Amino acid sequence: MPLFGKKDSAKKAKKEAEKQPSVEDKYVLKELLGTGAFSEVRLAESKEKPGQMFAVKIIDKKALKGKEDSLENEIKVLRRLQDAGPAPGGGGAPGLPQLPSPSPGHSDAAAPSDASGSNRAPAPVRLNNRLKHPNIVQLLETFEDKHKVYLIMELVTGGELFDRIVEKGSYTEKDASDLIRQVLEAVDYMHEQGVVHRDLKPENLLYYSPDEDSKIMISDFGLSKMEDSGIMATACGTPGYVAPEVLAQKPYGKAVDVWSIGVISYILLCGYPPFYDENDANLFAQILKGEFEFDSPYWDDISDSAKDFIRQLMCVDVEKRYTCRQALKHPWISGNAASNKNIHGTVSEQLKKNFAKSRWKQAYHAATVIRQMQRMALSGSSSGRSPVPARTCLSESLNGSPRND
């Protein structure tokens, strides 16, 4: 059965595929960057524009059998985020376009985003009359043959969030505020399009380029869900970052992403997570109660505004929790409340202690950020690490069996 077609349209899909260019017609597939349970990632160079590089995720259909819906969901989400329109203040019909099923050789964008690494890029921009957000890793094209599916992804090369903070000589609240602002802008854009990420965490925040002022990118939409596809109730996500309502197995929505951004903000200012326990049951109990502290001496030099910002995002009461739009207006983000005092020493020491590479990374030879890309969606479960547990579908441990929303 073709991945992107129905049984009764197999012959038609085969004919259409014969007319479409193959991935090899448009790209030179280069060295292996990483592997997963269902896929591998290779560097790819455009034949039309030599020197223009991409990351291509190659999914084995045979290994994927029975899980096709998960891949189709990821592709649908990514296409929703870049096909949405119009941009704020732009023209065009209101609402979202009908999303066609991906087809072999379907082009979603003509080129990767600008390689300038510009740090501040709040507004969605146009590619071939379509919209994309500059802080969301883009799916550019999809290809399919008899045995494999190919996802041509925007190439980002700047490394992972924690690595860059540790490597910096100076790091301030203002730096953290600027990072969180970019994340909020991207997630606010996602929410406007009806998409909930459901797995926001530092490992999914990547730097676009090695440049000092590089923007941050959101990746890994494998657990993302579109609100119009039904009620969300599955306890999915990464335990340390998951919202209380998810653990309580209540229907939930966009607010779960805001909670996760609050957890990330907390870590960015002290280097350790707000919730942690070796025992998952105890960890979940902490999260359900919203029990976290601003411990001395780690938080002594952090501004009251930063602490208030975190409290507003990590509010157990969903109705009182800030939205992304409200968070963007908080003085710690939009004003001058973020301190310029250098907190690098304390934060980097705690990051190295609590998120050591040997405990939460796999050692691929490829660039760190490209390796992260191969974990998107169907690349298999992450390697075990401490103190932040690997991504999982929590309903499996809570209920004994996974749910399908």
Q: How far apart are CA 367 and CA 345, in angstroms?
A: 26
pLDDT of residue 216: 94
pLDDT of residue 368: 38
pLDDT of residue 231: 60
- Per the model's pLDDT, the better-predicted residue between 15 and 100 turns out to be 15
Residue of 199, 220, 257, 304 marked active site: 199
pLDDT of residue 223: 63
With bands split at pLDDT 50, 70 and 90, how would you rate the model's confidence at 405?
low
As a residue count, the chain comes to 405
State which fold the 161-399 domain adopts: Transferase(Phosphotransferase); domain 1 (1.10.510)
pLDDT of residue 398: 36
With bands split at pLDDT 50, 70 and 90, how would you rate the model's confidence at 125?
very low
pLDDT of residue 94: 27
pLDDT of residue 10: 56
Kindly state the average pLDDT of the residues 238-260: 89
Query: Where do you find CATH 1.10.510.10 in the chain?
Result: 161-399
Contact 273, 263 (CB under 8 A): yes
Kindly state the average pLDDT of the residues 315-332: 97
3 state SS of 185: helix
Contact 300, 307 (CB under 8 A): no
Residues 6 or more apart from 339 whose CB is under 8 A from it? 172, 173, 174, 301, 302, 303, 306
Q: Is the pLDDT of residue 151 over 50?
A: yes
Which positions make up the binding site for ATP? 57
From the centroid of its chain, how far is CA 301?
30
Peptide bond into 297 cis (omega under 30): yes
CA neighbor of 164 nearest in space, from 309, 367, 366: 367
Judge: domain 18-153, CATH 3.30.200.20.
yes
pLDDT of residue 39: 81
Q: Is the pLDDT of residue 144 over 80?
A: yes
Residues 6 or more apart from 22 whose CB is under 8 A from it? 104, 105, 143, 145
Query: Where do you find CATH 3.30.200.20 in the chain?
Result: 18-153
Mean pLDDT score across all residues of the chain: 74
Burial label for 268, CB within 10 Å (0-12, 13-18, 19+), is buried
Residues 6 or more apart from 398 whose CB is under 8 A from it? 235, 247, 249
With bands split at pLDDT 50, 70 and 90, how would you rate the model's confidence at 396?
very low
Which positions make up the binding site? 57
Give me the residue label for tokens 């790091």: 171
% of the chain surpassing 90 pLDDT: 37
pLDDT of residue 251: 84
pLDDT of residue 392: 38
Kindly state the average pLDDT of the residues 88-117: 33
- Each residue's pLDDT tens digit, 27-66: 999 999 777 777 888 899 999 999 999 999 898 888 777 6
Active site residue 199: yes
pLDDT of residue 380: 38
∠ CA 22-26-32, nearest 5°, is 90
Q: Is the pLDDT of residue 232 over 90?
A: no
CA neighbor of 56 nearest in space, from 81, 31, 21: 31
- Per the model's pLDDT, the better-predicted residue between 139 and 307 turns out to be 307
- Continuous segment of H or E residues that includes residue 370: helix 368-373
Q: How far apart are CA 146 and CA 376, in angstroms?
A: 22
Q: Is the pLDDT of residue 194 over 80?
A: yes
Q: Which of 91-105, 196-210, 211-225 is predicted least confidently?
A: 91-105
pLDDT of residue 394: 43
